Amino acid sequence: MLGILVRQTCGTFADEEQMMDKYRIPRHHSNVHFSQHSVFIRKLYTTMLHIAQSAENFKTPIPSTYSQTLIQLYTGWLVDHVSKVDRELAALLIGKAPDSELERDVVLPPDLVVPISYSQFLASDNASLQDRNLFEKLKRMLRLKEYGKEEEKKKLLGVAKAKAKSLQHQQPRKDSGQMNPNMNMNMNMGMNMNQMNMFNAMNMPMNMNMNMNQNMNMNMFNAMNMNMNMAGGM
């Protein structure tokens, strides 16, 4: 029941604030309206958390005294806000919003819809760490799932996965001023073979220099062809 009451209250506030934004209600009214919504939500959350903690600690049904506390809270809201500020909003919406929208009932949302006014408060310097922790604690205790949070998490997770996949398939940039390491290794192998052939040729008898030079040139030619073929294969 406490969760239903919180969802209905916040859903109604969120609906009013969306209409104020949609139909361009003057700023002087919307600022006052948003501020009062935010203050009431803080009072409601504090009361709800106290009730939920008491019920959890003592493992008993909620005492009737808490019912009276909630009745007093909402009675004061009806007198201070609904009969004054909401009535002024209704007058401002006449002629701007169609009658069908003004007369419709606000459907109880399945998830907790956080009004813009309270989201702005939590993001402002006026909100303490205790305010933010209180909000999160209440959601956990009443098992309230915040509307849009799961979709936002899935969207962020999808973006992260897409980035990781892109980085995984991204090829390293080729720099024309740098030699491919594999090509460099192949050239070194060819140079070592040529150096060995030259060393052998210098130690052979003079009458065999011509044949060795031919063999050396052939080996150099073969080494160059091997490098070119291996480089072409890469």
Measured distance CA(47)–CA(65) in Å, rounded: 12
- The pLDDT of residue 180 is above 80: no
Measured distance CA(172)–CA(80) in Å, rounded: 66
Inter-residue contact 182 to 234 (CB < 8 Å): yes
Q: Give the pLDDT score at 121.
A: 96
In 3D space, the residue among 7, 87, 65, 88 whose CA is nearest the CA of residue 41 turns out to be 7
pLDDT in tens, 135-160: 999 999 889 999 776 554 454 455 45
Measured distance CA(217)–CA(197) in Å, rounded: 9
* Backbone conformation region of residue 95, classed left if phi is above 0, alpha if psi is from -120 to 50, else beta: left
Measured distance CA(190)–CA(213) in Å, rounded: 16
Q: What is the CA radius of gyration of the chain?
A: 39
pLDDT in tens, 8-23: 999 999 999 999 999 9
Where is average pLDDT lowest: 30-34, 35-39, 75-79, 102-106? 102-106
Domain ranges in the chain are 2-149, 181-233
- The pLDDT of residue 168 is above 90: no
